[in-house]
Each structure stands twice: as C-alpha cells, then as structure tokens.
Amino acid sequence: MLVLASASPRRRELLTQAGYQFDIHPAYIPEDPHPDEDPIAYVTRLAREKAQAVYNKLSPADPGVLVLGSDTTVTLDNEILGKPENQADAARMLRLLSGRTHRVITGVSLIGAARSQTAAEVTAVQFLTISEAEIAAYIATGEPMDKAGAYAIQGHAARWIPRIEGCYFNVVGLPISLVATLLDSPPLDI
C-alpha cells in the first residue's frame, strides 16, 4: 500500500492525476533548516524524515506499507525561501523573485521494508518584473500564504512566469516522473 506523508492538496491531486492509488497520513515534523544547510540537503532530509516518521507509525500494523515523503522549497542565491510567515514576508519574497530566475527544489523519499530511496528534482523558474501594486493584489488573494517562495505556478502567478527549465510538476509540488521512477525501481536489499 502506498501512503503519502503529506496533507498537501497539490501533491494529492498530482498523484491522483498520474493514476496512483494511495492513502494519506500527513507527517508533522519540524521543518526548520539546519544552520548553513544546502537547499538540496534540506529538502531531501525533510522528505526522508517525513516518510520515516509515517513509516514508523504505520509499519507495525502493515509491514507492506510504502511511504512517500516530499518537501519543496524555493531558492535564490542559495537562500531557502520557505512558506511566508505573514503578508510582509510574502511581499519580501516576491520582490526578491521579481525579474530573476530562481530554483525550485523538491526532495522525495520512499521508505518501505525493502527500500529506502531519496532523490531531488531541480527546476529553474524565470519571473518577469512585477510591480508593488501587482504584489499587493496577489497577496490580497491569499494564494501565496501557504506556498514555498510565496507563489503558485498553477495559480495567479502564472502570468509572471514566461519560462521554466525542468519539470513543471516539481514547481507545483511533486515531480511525478521522479516519483514514478522511484516507485518502478526494484526494492533494495537493506
């Protein structure tokens, strides 16, 4: 049985769209980066910790459980831009992204009795220059408040993104082709 260790509606939608059947058991772990932690190390650590926490909870009752953990962040100049703390923080992030290209990194981890696999996907996202009025109007929609980097590519912010290099679904929150590759790979001898 596949279990998604996330409450993210976007991840749920993407897995469903790709044809997977799964249960949902969100992991609740601290998501603060360690001092000087590299963004890729950060998201892969969180993905692994989420998957492991849910696996440890469910495996005694179901030894065949396979848990998918995931975490996404936005980085600019190697600075991690997580979910904004408030509207001022969202505006700060959007100003940083305006007119620049940043990276979206998602870590994914599969934990099961016969496997422990973790990987990351990186996508470059170009932003147009956005005005203070556009930033204020976007924040007023509420959309940026629970999104890494304070935007959703599949929402209103799409109008500011002329191009990406890499996986679109990664920017939404789950690189489906990477997940499929991990799920289709043979279990490891661990």
Name all contacts of 80-87 with Cβ < 8 Å and 24+ positions apart. 80/33, 80/37, 80/39, 80/42, 81/148, 81/149, 81/150, 82/31, 82/33, 82/148, 83/145, 83/146, 83/147, 83/148, 83/150, 84/144, 84/145, 84/147, 84/150, 87/139, 87/145
User: Across residues 106-126, what is the average pLDDT?
Assistant: 96
Fold of 2-184: Maf protein (3.90.950)
Dihedral over alpha carbons 162, 163, 168, 171 (to 10 degrees)? -70
Q: Which of 23, 32, 38, 71 is catalytic?
A: 71
pLDDT at 142 over 50: yes
Tell me what pLDDT residue 185 has: 85
pLDDT band at 188 (very low <50, low <70, confident <90, very high): low
Q: Which tens digits make up the pLDDT trace of 16-73? A: 999 999 999 999 999 999 999 999 999 999 999 999 999 999 998 898 999 999 999 9
CB-CB contact of 110 with 67 (8 Å):
yes
Distance CA 16, CA 54 (A): 20
pLDDT at 74 over 60: yes
pLDDT at 145 over 80: yes
Q: Strands 2-4, 23-24: parallel, antiparallel or unpaired by DSSP?
A: parallel
Its pTM stands at 0.93
Tell me what pLDDT residue 190 has: 45
pLDDT band at 95 (very low <50, low <70, confident <90, very high): very high
Is 71 among the catalytic positions? yes
Per domain, the residue ranges of the chain are 2-184
Tell me what pLDDT residue 114 has: 87
